Amino acid sequence: MDVITPIVDDPRTFGAIAACNALSDVYAMGGRPELALSFLGVPSDVLGLEVVREILAGVHEVCARARCAVVGGHTMKDSEPKCGLSVVGSVEPDAVWSQRFAREGDALVLTKAIGTGLLGQSVRRGDARPDQLDAAVRRMTQLNDVACELGRRFGAHACTDVTGFGLLGHLRNLVEASEISVELHASAVPLLAGALELAESGCIPGGTRRNLDYALAVTRFDDAIAAALRLVLADAQTSGGLLLAVPSDAAIPLVRALLDAGVDDARVVGHVAGRGEAVVHVIA
């Protein structure tokens, strides 16, 4: 189950992002979402039924794309809008992805650009650029179904989606679970337009700062990595992409297949350097 608060003003778009965000947890395990229960909290004394209809319409549109049936749900009065799904999916037992299964020599492939937390903060601040926000919304409403399917086809060993902990926070979870060290190439990580500039200007959500503190337990930065970029790499994401650990010889063919399938941000961003101490070494 995953529930979020609005990152955009449009209610239908909010519902679509919330659904994509929740469905991603199943794709991150190599699974196929099948059934979902919706959850919606609204300040009903402020927002009327038309807003509720629009949010749920966005949820249902995304679930239809995912071929996941919404079979029920729950609404409640709340002080702030909230929307999400409880999702049930399935996967063959010997095909489950976990953060525990990354192997020495694996390459790391990221499927979406990062920076949605920073852009969301600019929305709250009231100075978001429409073109940059539109680009972020396109990513957040893109299902991870194709990334999951192709990751399985090219033999991915392990996976995590990149959401609330940010890229560096999820990498901490991966290296600790798999007992590995990772090299992350900062220059290879796809960033949403404007994200780095927002970090440089100080438009940084509190969750992103907390993520960086969390990641520092295992993260080693080269001196060349600027402070703003460190924050972007820890930025708390909504409906982020998949981070796939794949055999090194499959990484480039996987990225090509992802790009051909419309997953435009797919990049090889690093590799598993060895086993033992859990370390994320961020290099330029």
Sorted by sequence, the CB contacts under 8 Å of residue 12 that are 6+ apart come out as 54, 55, 57, 58, 61
Whose CA is closest to 109, among 173, 154, 42, 54? 154
Q: How big is the CA angle at 257 (ends 58 and 21), to the nearest 5 degrees?
A: 25
Residue pointed to by tokens 């919330």: 18
pLDDT at 124: 87
Helix count and strand count (H, E) for the chain: 10, 11
Query: What whole-number distance in Å separates Cα of residue 274 and Cα of residue 284?
Result: 19
Structural contact between residues 255 and 233, judged by C-beta atoms closer than 8 angstroms:
no
Whose CA is closest to 124, among 21, 20, 203? 203
Q: Which domains does the chain have, with CATH numbers?
A: 2-92 (3.30.1330.10), 107-283 (3.90.650.10)
pLDDT at 46 over 90: no
* Per-residue pLDDT tens over the stretch 12-31: 999 999 999 999 999 999 99
* Per-residue pLDDT tens over the stretch 217-244: 999 999 999 999 999 999 999 999 999 9
Encoded tokens for 44: 């009903």
The mean predicted confidence, pLDDT, of the chain is 96
Torsion sign, CA atoms 118, 122, 128, 134: positive
pLDDT at 44 over 90: no
Query: What whole-number distance in Å separates Cα of residue 180 and Cα of residue 167?
Result: 16
Encoded tokens for 192: 């949403």
Q: Is 23 helix (H, G, I), strand (E, B) or coil?
A: helix
Report CA 194 to chain centroid distance, whole Å. Answer: 18
* Per-residue pLDDT tens over the stretch 135-189: 999 999 999 999 999 999 999 999 999 999 999 999 999 999 999 999 999 999 9
pLDDT at 256 over 90: yes
Residue pointed to by tokens 């609404």: 75
Query: What whole-number distance in Å separates Cα of residue 15 and Cα of residue 70?
Result: 13
Encoded tokens for 157: 């060993």
Q: Is 256 helix (H, G, I), strand (E, B) or coil?
A: helix
Structural contact between residues 123 and 8, judged by C-beta atoms closer than 8 angstroms:
yes
Confidence of residue 47 (pLDDT cuts 50, 70, 90): confident
Query: What whole-number distance in Å separates Cα of residue 73 and Cα of residue 85?
Result: 8
Residue 86: Cβ-neighbour burial (10 angstroms; 0-12, 13-18, 19+): middle
- Bridge partners (DSSP) of residue 243 are 110, 160
Query: What whole-number distance in Å separates Cα of residue 1 and Cα of residue 182?
Result: 29
